[in-house]
Structures are given as structure tokens and as C-alpha cells.
Structure 1
């Protein structure tokens, strides 16, 4: 190193020159400390988690523009198809080894004249035919060998309607959707920096567009929380002198609640959970489970079986899911840290993407503000805005998973 130092030649002012030796990093650092700096990663590590699965799915699914901040929507379900027998009284004997029985049932509206029904008594199953209907009773033709004393508390399940050859008409059927209301919420995010900050040299390439990108993700995180767990309300802001609308999340809109015990969660528990999620007015055969870390952990501890198979990863709506394949349907599973943040790490929600609707009053947009031209601040600013809400068209196709 001493030999290298002998290569330094003083300049006419303050500089140093090197004579008779090649320029090396050691010489450069000795002659001009700080000229060479440690390598700086020129790209900020931008976090791109799958943090907003519900918002992502809703944006790529069924979107509907609306002309009001208050959205009326209609959801329908299926007609009940069973009733519990309270009392059975024999009315008369009929030809062909049959009998006419008057059944008092808990839900007579589940049946109409000419409907058939199935009753499981012990290890046998009997078929009945509804020949007449009263306000709280059904007159049913049943086999004469059926012991009527065993009918109370038996569930009568409606089967197909059976018409006679001369029937031209049948009891009328219609369904009226149930009206519900949700409120669009105005989501906003403003990005602003001074002109001096914009023109200043930076050690890394962190520009205004990077600020916008980070702001969009922060905004979507807030929207995801609202779309999941928001409570619908309209309030008055006395400072601004305006009303504020807050949207309702899908958690409270879901029609089912499935309770699981994570301490004893097993393959059998998972199968029971899938059965409840996919049966009884359950919608499509492909659904999404968005869940907290404790529920995801319980599922991950289970081994794949011949009944339930697990694929490593499948990509839908730009999100990487773990896929559970069962005889009931396919369940796409994704972890959401929002459940953990909200104190619901053991919970989750099963949503049916086919029956989730996004209502948009103001589409997602970026408006540039001219704060310099208006004489307010010497800055450049952009405001991100969206006014929207989510609704579930068939509530029973979606289910809350609640850890006990």
C-alpha cells in the first residue's frame, strides 16, 4: 500500500492524481474517500401480497354500474322441501292396499296438492301422495301397512309432482325475490409531493409513480377490510356538513354459519365443513375460502386422502390458491392476513364467485389536482377515488366459517 501511495501526485489545487500505477478501487478509496459507495439496490422491494382476494375477485367478476349511492338488490333462495310430522290420523281405507291419512305438519306450505313425499320410518322408506290440503294439515295417500304411530317427528321430504292423465293444470308456483339494500362507500386516497422533492436527486429510483402504486395497494387493503367486515350505516359529519355512507361487508350478508372446532379439527371435520358449504341451496361447485392463519394452519396439518385431494397451487383471478378437491366440489383456499388483523384468525368465509356482485357508482380513477395553479401549494397531487359496494345475490351460497 505504501508503494501505491507513492503513486499519488498532488494537483495544483486540491485534487490527487495517480502516476505510474493502474487505478484500483483501493487507490480510489484512499485518494477520494466516499467516491465509491456500497451497492444500493436500485429497486425498492415492493410488497405484492395476495392481500385483497375478495376485492380482486369482485373486480374480475360480475360488475354493474349504478346511478345511486344506495343500491337495492334482490336475492332469492329455494323453496323449503320438507316438513316435520306432528300427528297422523287415519281417515279411511283405500283400494290397492292404501290408506288416506291426515298429517298435521309443521310447515304445510312446503307441499301442494299432487306433490309426492318420502318418509323414512325405521329402516324403511315410504312414498306418499298429497291428495288434499288444509290450513295446517295434508291428506296423504300412504301404504296401509305403515304404522301411523311411528310417524310423529318423522321428516316428510317433498319429491316430484305427480299429475293424472286428465290434469291440464297444477297448483301454481312462483318465487318473489327478497329486497335488500346496501350503500356504496366513497373510497379515496391522495398522493402528493412537492415540486422540489420531485426534482431532487434520489439515491434510488423512487418516483411519484411508485408512490401512486403503493397508495393503490394501501387503498385496496382498506377496501378489502370494508368489503369483508363493514357494517352498513349512514351518518352525518357535523364538521363537513355532509352525510357519509358506509358499506356493508359480505361477512354479515352470508346466509350460512358453519362452526368448527380447531382443537379437534380432522379430515372428517373438513369433509363435514365441505358438505355444509356445498349442499342445501349451495350454488356452484367451485368456491373460494378466504381464511385467517389459524384456520389455514388447521387445514394444512391434514393429510390428503383418497376422498379429498390437494393440489399444490392453482391460479384463478390472478391469485395463487391451494385447491381442495372433494366429491362435493372444488374449494380454492387462500390466506388473508386481514382476518388476523380483525382478530378472527380462526375464522374464514366461503364465497361463491358466481353469485357475488360489485355495484360501482364511481369507477376506480385517478384525478390530477392543480394545486399550483389554484395557488394552494407548490406540489403535484393525484386523488384516487372509487365508490362501490358488494352484494351477495344468493346468500345461502356463501358461508361464514366460525371457530368455536
Structure 2
């Protein structure tokens, strides 16, 4: 006997009833005339063919406009110094924030000041400074103020204590400010000369406290020196609903993580170049912090070009003199590297000696970075345009480094750490912290140099 499938019959009956219900509803809708009728579950187009225009009016999100599925990540530049420092053999493990050694002598990345800062009374320990792009700043950032002189004669560097989005201000504390007097005697104050409007502010690495888990830094006889190792940190978060939400492009947590790692490395690059060695307690909660000293704070040799004013001429004689000063009188390597800003690189390309070897396509790859190679009687100079120098206001300046006399000292290598914010009931997000505690050490300062236009 043939078996009767009751389940199948029941499903078919419900399907027929559903079709009849839809037809009944459609007949009722026709009574309203040729208009678009909106309901809680959709939109109805009556008496007209279904067109793109009609669908756009009734359900704007139904037909998606064409969107490229490839998301192009626009990055201003690579980080050549950081890349080199991660690969050089001179890697030193440290067990302290202070690294002592013996040496012989020697999110956008910049903002501008909206309203000038002027000192008052006996000077200020901190100040609220109005800027033009408040969104790029975070608490615990460090910032270099190009052209504003600190107590060391170089650009002022400040710690960002906090920010006020509504007022467009950042609260700054000087790291290389001036000595106070009167009511501020024994304290470090912001420059008495003030900070002019439109001053360029370069965002350097974040400076974290050791308990922070999240974030929103010439002599024959060797002389003992030191640098501090800075806690650099970035944090990636993606809400649970954002994670499962349908997206028009393939963009997820790993992409956010990659972007944050790049941003962290870029700000570390600025700190390796321009940071101020400082051990301090922030004025809000008295937490002790360390910032690492950048290369420009340790280099003692300076080379100039041009005759001053607007003149930026580099001729063959100047280039020869540079190489003589770079390679002679020290026991450095036969090969040095030169990172230059846009302006300096443009002027170098006008030197016959350089241009001829560039046209001959003489290059050399160092730790995966391609440099132009210039051979001279004194030694080999490998030079490369460093776009981040221009972002820091160093377009017409350059830095010469001897890689044999640079070390990377690391307290804690770069690593990622998962935060249990969901489990702890703080936020319904997946979160990862990326952190590294490190600093750059320059030995034998006379083997390095800074190139600047004559004043």
C-alpha cells in the first residue's frame, strides 16, 4: 500500500493559504489608487512598472549604487627608520626603562595652532591650546612644536594631558620647557615667548604609564650616557554588532588592526627622530612616565648648504665638503645613509655628481628599502627621500646615520594582547592592544650628522 506523507500535505496546504492571503492583500491595496504606499514592512508601487526611480523612492536602500569592493588605504609614507631598526643586528634586550650605555662624543600626523598661546604671571605649567584638528589628538600623545624653542634649544615637545572636543583644545605640559620663577620657581613652564598662531604641531608617539592596559612615546674615553625606553601603545576595538553587520566591502577587525599598527609605527618614527628623553609625572594624576630621546637630540655634527635667506643652492664643492666631514675624522663605516626632506632631495638632484649617478640607476637595497647610491672618494652615501620629515617641517633638512653605530634597545617587543572587555562588562566589543617598549640608541655621535640650510 502506498504511504501518505501527511507532513508534505500539511506544508502544501499552508503554502496555498499563504498565496491566497497575499493575493487578498494585493487586491485590497489596489483600492488606494496609483500612489506609492508605505507600510511598516516595505513600499508598494501601483499602476506603474517597477523602475529604478520608483524603487529609489519607495525603498532607497534596495538598489545599491556601485561601490568599488576594493578599499584603497591611503598612507602618507612608509617608515624607513623603524623598518631598519627592526632588522638591524644591533638589537639589545633591556630589563629597565632606563638604558645606560657608553658612547663617544658625538590619524594626519600634523596640526596647526588655531589661537596663539601667551604666557601670564610667572608662567604656566600647563595650558589649553586651541588647535585646528582636534580629532587627531588623543590623551597621552606627545607633540613637537616646530619653530618653538625649548630649553634645549631645539623644538618644544609637550605631553598631551587631555583634550576638549567642544572647545577644540588640547591641554599641554612641556617636556623641555623653561625654568619657572616666583610662584613657579622649581617648576617647568611653557616658553615665555609663547606659541604663535599657525605653528606646526607634529604628533609623536603616545607615552603610556607602566600600569596602563589601554589607550584612547667626541672623546677618546667613552662617556656614560643613557636613553629612556618609551611605552608605545595602540588599541583596536570593533563592536559585536559591527562585526556581524553586513558590509558593502570586505573590511573587518584585521584591517583595523593593520591600520593601527601602521599608525603606531609612524608615530614611533617621529619619536625615534624628534622625541625628548624625559622622565616625568603628568600634572593630572602624578603617574610617572618615560619618553625616549630621538636621534636629533644626540647628533652633534651639523652641515649647512646655501648662503642664507632664500638661497638653497647645493653645488659640487658643497657636496664634496659634506662627504669629507661625514666620513673623515672618525672611525665610522664606509657607507652611511641620508634621509632627506622633499626640499633637500630636490636640491640634491641639481648637483652634477649626484645627477650622473642617479641617471645611471645606481641603487642599493638595505633591509628591504631601496636607496640611491652615490659613490665618492670618501665613502658611499645612500640617500632616500623621507616624506615624514616634510610633515615635521624638515622639508629642507636631512639626517645622516651610520647604521653600525645605532642600536635598538627593547624592554618589551611589539606584541598584541587581547582585552576581555565583554567578559568584564565594560563594552560589547572585540579589543586588542598593540604595544612595544623601546628606544633608539646612537653611539659615536660624530659618525652621524644633521643637514640644514644656512641661516
Task: Tell me the TM-score normalized by structure 1.
Answer: 0.65
1: distance between equivalents of 2:381 and 2:427? Answer: 52
CA contact (8 A) 2:276 2:293 kept: yes
Q: Which residue of 2 aligns with 1:206?
A: 251
2: distance between equivalents of 1:384 and 1:327? Answer: 46
Q: Classify the secondary structure of the residue corresponding to 2:91.
A: strand
Q: Which residue of 2 aligns with 1:110?
A: none
How has the CA–CA distance of structure 1 residues 236 and 203 changed in structure 2, closer, same or farther, with 3 Å as cutoff? same
Q: Classify the secondary structure of the residue corresponding to 1:55.
A: helix
The answer to which of 28-37 and 362-371 deviates more is 28-37
Q: Which residue of 1 aligns with 2:305?
A: 260
Instruction: Measure how far apart 1:68 and its partner are.
Output: 0.5
How has the CA–CA distance of structure 1 residues 202 and 290 changed in structure 2, closer, same or farther, with 3 Å as cutoff? same
Instruction: Measure how far apart 1:327 and its partner are.
Output: 2.2
**Residue from 326, 330, 333 that aligns with 2:383:** 333
Instruction: Measure how far apart 1:274 and its partner are.
Output: 1.7
How has the CA–CA distance of structure 1 residues 29 and 401 changed in structure 2, closer, same or farther, with 3 Å as cutoff? same
Q: Which deviations, in whole Å up to 9, do the C-alpha atoms of 1:74-107 show, x marking residues without a partner?
A: 11369xxxxxxxxxxxxxxxxxxxxxxxxxxxxx
How has the CA–CA distance of structure 1 residues 235 and 305 changed in structure 2, closer, same or farther, with 3 Å as cutoff? closer
CA contact (8 A) 1:185 1:246 kept: yes
| Alignment map for 1:269-308 (pairs within 5 Å) | 269-304=318-353
| Alignment map for 1:106-255 (pairs within 5 Å) | 176-255=221-300
**Residue from 33, 50, 54 that aligns with 2:81:** 54
Instruction: Measure how far apart 1:59 and its partner are.
Output: 0.9
Q: Classify the secondary structure of the residue corresponding to 1:269.
A: helix
1: distance between equivalents of 2:228 and 2:339? Answer: 23
The answer to which of 191-200 and 356-365 deviates more is 191-200
Q: Bigger radius of gyration, 1 or 2?
A: 1
How has the CA–CA distance of structure 1 residues 246 and 200 changed in structure 2, closer, same or farther, with 3 Å as cutoff? same
**Residue from 412, 434, 444 that aligns with 1:362:** 412
Matched, 1:319 2:346: no
Q: Which deviations, in whole Å up to 9, do the C-alpha atoms of 1:88-131 show, x marking residues without a partner?
A: xxxxxxxxxxxxxxxxxxxxxxxxxxxxxxxxxxxxxxxxxxxx
Matched, 1:349 2:399: yes
Matched, 1:374 2:409: no
**CA RMSD after TM alignment:** 2.8
Instruction: Measure how far apart 1:15 and its partner are.
Output: 9.6
CA contact (8 A) 2:336 2:401 kept: yes
Matched residue count: 290
CA contact (8 A) 2:349 2:355 kept: no
Q: Classify the secondary structure of the residue corresponding to 1:320.
A: strand
Q: Which deviations, in whole Å up to 9, do the C-alpha atoms of 1:252-294 show, x marking residues without a partner?
A: 2123111122622112222221221122105111111111111
Instruction: Measure how far apart 1:31 and its partner are.
Output: 8.8
Q: Which residue of 2 aligns with 1:396?
A: 446
Q: Which residue of 1 aligns with 2:92?
A: 64
2: distance between equivalents of 1:60 and 1:47? Answer: 25
The answer to which of 334-343 and 293-302 deviates more is 334-343
Q: Classify the secondary structure of the residue corresponding to 1:322.
A: strand
Q: Which deviations, in whole Å up to 9, do the C-alpha atoms of 1:204-254 show, x marking residues without a partner?
A: 111111001110111111111110011111110243332111111111212
Task: Report the structure, 1 or 2, having the larger strand content.
Answer: 1
Q: Which deviations, in whole Å up to 9, do the C-alpha atoms of 1:132-154 show, x marking residues without a partner?
A: xxxxxxxxxxxxxxxxxxxxxxx
Name the structure, 1 or 2, with higher relative contact order (CA <8 Å, separation 6+).
1
Instruction: Measure how far apart 1:313 and its partner are.
Output: 4.2
CA contact (8 A) 1:187 1:385 kept: yes
How has the CA–CA distance of structure 1 residues 275 and 195 changed in structure 2, closer, same or farther, with 3 Å as cutoff? same
Q: Which residue of 1 aligns with 2:169?
A: none
**Please, which runs of 5 or more residues in structure 1 have no aligned partner?**
1-10, 17-26, 79-173
Matched, 1:43 2:92: no
2: distance between equivalents of 1:376 and 1:306? Answer: 59
2: distance between equivalents of 1:54 and 1:401? Answer: 17
Instruction: Measure how far apart 1:319 and its partner are.
Output: 1.6
Task: Tell me the TM-score normalized by structure 2.
Answer: 0.58
Q: Classify the secondary structure of the residue corresponding to 1:263.
A: coil
2: distance between equivalents of 1:206 and 1:199? Answer: 12
Instruction: Measure how far apart 1:306 and its partner are.
Output: 9.9
2: distance between equivalents of 1:276 and 1:308? Answer: 21
How has the CA–CA distance of structure 1 residues 316 and 40 changed in structure 2, closer, same or farther, with 3 Å as cutoff? farther
1: distance between equivalents of 2:314 and 2:104? Answer: 33
**Please, which runs of 5 or more residues in structure 2 have no aligned partner?**
1-21, 27-42, 107-218
Q: Which residue of 1 aligns with 2:207?
A: none
Q: Which residue of 2 aligns with 1:90?
A: none
2: distance between equivalents of 1:298 and 1:282? Answer: 29
Q: Classify the secondary structure of the residue corresponding to 2:396.
A: coil
How has the CA–CA distance of structure 1 residues 35 and 322 changed in structure 2, closer, same or farther, with 3 Å as cutoff? farther
Instruction: Measure how far apart 1:354 and its partner are.
Output: 1.2
